[in-house]
Amino acid sequence: MLLEPPPNFPTQNDVAEVRYLSRTKSSETIAGLPPPSRNRPKEEKSIYVSEIQSRDLFQSLPIISMTIPRGRWLVEKIPSGHFHGYDVTLKKHGLEISFSSDGVPDGENSQFKKIINREPSQLTNDEIAYFYPSGSFVAGHTEELNGKRVIVFEGHSKDQNLDVYRLEFNHNPDESGVCVPAMITFIASPSEFKQHIKSVKAALKTIRWIHKVDIDPSK
C-alpha cells in the first residue's frame, strides 16, 4: 500500500453483477517447444471491470455498488494477512483505485473513532500528523458521503512522485458501534491525477454503502 500502512471468479450467471470488458488470452504454444505440462497450475486470466457490485470479486467490500470512471480497469486482489481484511485494486494506464482494510476493530478511545464520530470539520495539522507523521498528507477534513462519515486526506508521495486522494471510514455502519477502519485510495502521477481526480470524485459520490455489520470479530 502506498505511503504508510494504514479474495472465485464470477461464473457466466454473474455477468449481470460484474460486467467484464475483456479477458486476456492464454499464451499460445511456441513452435518447437513442448506444450505445458497438464500438472502445471493454470494461470489466472486477467479480469477487467466497468463497475463495482457487492458480489464475487467485490464481496468483501462494504459497497452495494459504485460506478467507476470510464475505461478498462484491471482487478488485482492481494491477500491482506488478516482473516477479515481485504486489499482490492483497480488499475488503468497508471491510475490506481484501491479498497483496503486490515479487518481489525479500533479501540473504544481511538483517535480515528473520535474524529469519525464528530461533526464534519477540518483536521488540524497535529491530527493529520497522527495518522501520517511523514508529512505526505497536507490536507484533511471529514464529510458525509451518501450517509457515511469519511475522513478525506490529500497529499503527495515524494519518493514515488505520486499524488494521493484517500477516504478513510468505518467498514461497518457508523452507528453500529463496531469500528473497523477501511480506506479507498486514488493514486496517479501529478499530471494524470490532475486530469482524472474530478471523475474519481464523481465516481465516489455514486457509492451505495452496505448498511449491516459486515465485520465483527467478537462473534
Assess contact for 47 and 72: CB atoms under 8 A. no
Rounded distance, CA 92 to CA 75, Å? 9
CATH superfamily, domain 16-22+46-209, is Mog1/PsbP, alpha/beta/alpha sandwich (3.40.1000.10)
- pTM here is 0.77
Rounded distance, CA 17 to CA 53, Å? 6
Q: For residue 189, what are the CA distances in angstroms to 12, 95, 123, 154?
A: 36, 8, 25, 14
Rounded distance, CA 28 to CA 105, Å? 47
Write out the three cell numbers for 93.
494506464
- The pLDDT assigned to 143 comes to 97
The band of 21, judged by pLDDT with boundaries at 50, 70 and 90, is: very low
- Does 167 have pLDDT greater than 50? yes
Question: Residue 22 corresponds to which amino acid?
Answer: S
- Does 153 have pLDDT greater than 50? yes
Rounded distance, CA 61 to CA 87, Å? 9
- Does 91 have pLDDT greater than 90? yes
| Helices of type H across 41-144 | 111-117, 125-131
190-200 pLDDT per residue, tens: 999 999 999 99
Q: Which region among 35-39, 201-205, 208-212 has the lowest average model confidence (pLDDT)?
A: 35-39
**How is residue 43 annotated by DSSP?**
P
Helices (H) and strands (E) in the chain, counts: 3, 12
Max distance between CA atoms of the chain, in angstroms, equals: 68
- The pLDDT assigned to 165 comes to 98
SS3 1: coil
Assess contact for 121 and 142: CB atoms under 8 A. yes
114-139 pLDDT per residue, tens: 999 899 999 999 999 999 998 889 99
User: Cβ–Cβ contacts within 10 Å for residue 189, how many?
Assistant: 14
Rounded distance, CA 88 to CA 56, Å? 12
34-45 pLDDT per residue, tens: 455 455 545 567
In the chain, % of residues over pLDDT 70: 78
- Does 149 have pLDDT greater than 50? yes
- Backbone φ/ψ region at 85: left (φ over 0), alpha (ψ -120 to 50), beta: beta
- The pLDDT assigned to 171 comes to 95
- The pLDDT assigned to 187 comes to 98
